[in-house]
Amino acid sequence: MSLDQTHPKFRIFTTGGKPFRWWNAILSWLSDDRIRAVLKLDRHPDWPFEAILHGSPLSFLPVLKSAAKRNLDHLTASTSKRDRLPAEVFVPFQTTRQRLRRNILDGGKFWQVERLTTDPLHFGSARTEPLLPAKKTLRADPFPVKVDGVDWILFEEQVRGDRGRLRAACKNGSNWDVQPGEILEQPHHLSWPNVFEYNNRIFLLPESGESGEVALWICEEFPARWKKLRTLLTGRPFHDPCLMQFDGRWWLFVSGGGQHPGDHSSELCLFHAKDLFQGTFEPHKLNPLSVSVVGSRPAGQLFQHNGMLLRPAQDCRAGYGTAILLHRIERLTVDEFHETTIGRISPPKGAFGIHSLNRMPDGGWVVDVLR
């Protein structure tokens, strides 16, 4: 199988050692939503890899091709870099019956914004309570912010079959009032409204993977008037960008996708710059920091907690958005990066997934849960 003229010919096998066939797509979709494959390339060791199959079985082969191309770049990299990026370890987190039930019932599941009532560093199932309930409507990626003394939550909303759009809700007493209309209208899908304050101004760093860029927006009138300030990254379908100022630099964590929009969640990249408003965000020398579906894709803004710098990340071993991992960053410089997993938040009982975590202005925590 040859992807294009820039890559050598290689073969893709199942983890059982058999070449992929069309029925592999159907069986994989019925039993799991991961792509598990092995690249075989002359004069190179076998390279097992995973990717997330999120959608219909018809997307299986395009996603597999895109993920194979990304992984081939790692396979043919220098020996030192290849050794630093170990192959995936296949760990089943659900039984076949649970996976079948999840995929067959997929049409009736929606992400919902909820408040976390357990400690974020607690290992095990989360306990939550509804915050922005909506019937037959996806509401996900909640990012809280306080503006002029008022608490707000920005989030993604999507009705099945439509594109994702960004909306806002403000706190009114003990209730949250969802405001009419979109807060940022674009012709493509938008999600992940990563909102933050810097120098007394409000900024927005949304996910716009379909546009192939990561753009920074500045607020002119909250919550629905924004001006595009600059493009930070371009050239790939980047997902879930997280921006943080640390040790005199700006650090941008993002999950890099492949050529197919369904190829995501399994590559973590880091970029840095001295100035947020000018200059280039340079790639970290160790990029990609991870090529695993376990803990690569961001699951919320980085935050300080009990003297630790923590990075929430998605654990996709049993499918997209299965759980949240908490990584403690031990070392972060332009030459080094090291983090340790110190927590894992599982979905509440009866839920199918949980995949973002952010701190509320009142010190609590907001998450999204697949119900």
Task: Encode pLDDT of 313-371 as tens digits.
Answer: 999 887 888 999 999 999 999 999 999 999 999 999 999 899 999 999 888 999 999 99
Residue type, 366: V
pLDDT band at 94 (very low <50, low <70, confident <90, very high): low
Q: What is the pLDDT of residue 104?
A: 60
CA distance 343 to 352: 19
Among 301, 343, 303, smallest CA distance to 323 is for: 343
Output 87 or 327, whichever has higher pLDDT.
327
For 79, residues 6+ apart whose C-beta sits below 8 A from its C-beta are: none
Partner residues linked to 283 by β-bridges: 271
The predicted structure's pLDDT at residue 167: 98
The superfamily CATH assigns to domain 104-370 is Glycosyl hydrolase domain; family 43 (2.115.10.20)
Quickly state the pLDDT bin for 4 (edges 50, 70, 90): very low
Beta-bridge partner residues of 65: none
CA distance 356 to 168: 17
Percentage of residues in the chain having pLDDT higher than 90: 58
Place of tokens 């194979």: 68
Per-domain residue ranges of the chain: 11-90, 104-370
Output the pLDDT for position 140.
98
- Reported as a pLDDT band with limits 50, 70 and 90, residue 60 is confident
Task: Please determine, for residue 169, whether its predicted confidence score (pLDDT) is greater than 90.
Answer: yes
Residues 345, 60: contact at Cβ < 8 Å? no
- The better pLDDT of the pair 337, 30 is held by 337
- Read off the pLDDT of each residue in 11-29 and give the average, rounded to a whole number: 79
What is the residue-averaged pLDDT of the chain?
88
The CA distances from residue 337 to 119, 332, 371, in Å, are 26, 5, 35
Q: Which of 204, 257, 258 is nearest to 232 (CA)?
A: 204
Return the closest-CA partner of residue 258 out of 199, 209, 316: 209
pLDDT given at position 8: 67
Considering the entire predicted model, what is its pTM?
0.90
Q: Averaged over 54-83, what is the pLDDT?
A: 79
What pLDDT, on a 0 to 100 scale, did the predictor assign at position 84? 67
Instruction: For residue 120, give every residue at least 6 positions away whose Cβ sits within 8 Å of its Cβ, in sequence order, or none.
Output: 305, 326, 343, 345, 357, 365
Q: Which two tokens stand for residue 69?
A: 């191309």
Would you state the pLDDT for residue 6? 52
**Model confidence over 116-160: pLDDT tens digits?**
999 998 788 999 999 999 999 999 999 999 999 999 999 999 998
pLDDT score at 329:
98
